[in-house]
Amino acid sequence: MARLAILEYPDKRLRLKAEPVEDVDDEIRGLVSDMLETMYAAAGIGLAATQVNVRKRLLVIDVSEARDEPHVLINPVIVHAQGKISSEEGCLSVPDVFDYVERAEQIRATYLDLDGRPAELEAEDLLAVCVQHEIDHLDGKLFVDYLSELKRQRLRKKALKKVRRSANEAPRQSISARLI
């Protein structure tokens, strides 16, 4: 297993659309192991392949307190969504930014499991939010895209300043239960 580098906003590679996984093989399973390790090490509750610069439709999630209930969704598709929930989101790829986003409260998603078999997940609340946030990543979309233009302008300025500063500063450590 290995920890992978997580791309950070405003990196343009976060805007690339991921391609479906054709074969769930050992290479994919190895990538899943690395992504889980990376997510746990970063104290995140979700991570999409796009965030580690892999253009494959694949995501990992663990919203459990004990951090021992990983979900691995390959080629996930939301086939049903209902209700609305507004919750505060953060993202491993957009450090230090938290804001409210409205999403479906309950979803049903189809996906392939680690053996390449079709599977289904029914989710609500935080898990449902997380699945939607991660699928957005696979489509090149970030949670900040849902914020007002004014907020996004401020964020872009802050992110650019940070990129200029980062050469001579230690990396920030931020611990949040909602980094997805």
3-class state of residue 3 by DSSP: coil
Residue nearest Ni ion, CB atom distance: 91
63 forms part of the interface with Ni ion (CB under 5 A):
no
Q: 24 or 91, CB closer to Ni ion?
A: 91
Closest Cα partner for 140 from 60, 50, 65?
50
Q: Is 88 a known active-site residue? A: no
* Partners of 119 in beta bridges: 111
Which residue in 21, 28, 58, 91 binds Ni ion (CB under 5 A)? 91
118-124 β-sheet, strand order:
46-48, 58-61, 71-82, 106-112, 118-124
From the candidates 65, 105, 134, 169, give the one annotated as an active-site residue. Answer: 134
39 forms part of the interface with Ni ion (CB under 5 A):
no
129 forms part of the interface with Ni ion (CB under 5 A):
no
Which region, judged by CB under 5 A, interacts with Ni ion, from 64-72, 76-84, 89-97, 107-115? 89-97
Query: Cα(112)–Cα(93) distance, rounded to whole angstroms?
Result: 25
Residues that bind Ni ion (CB under 5 A): 91, 180
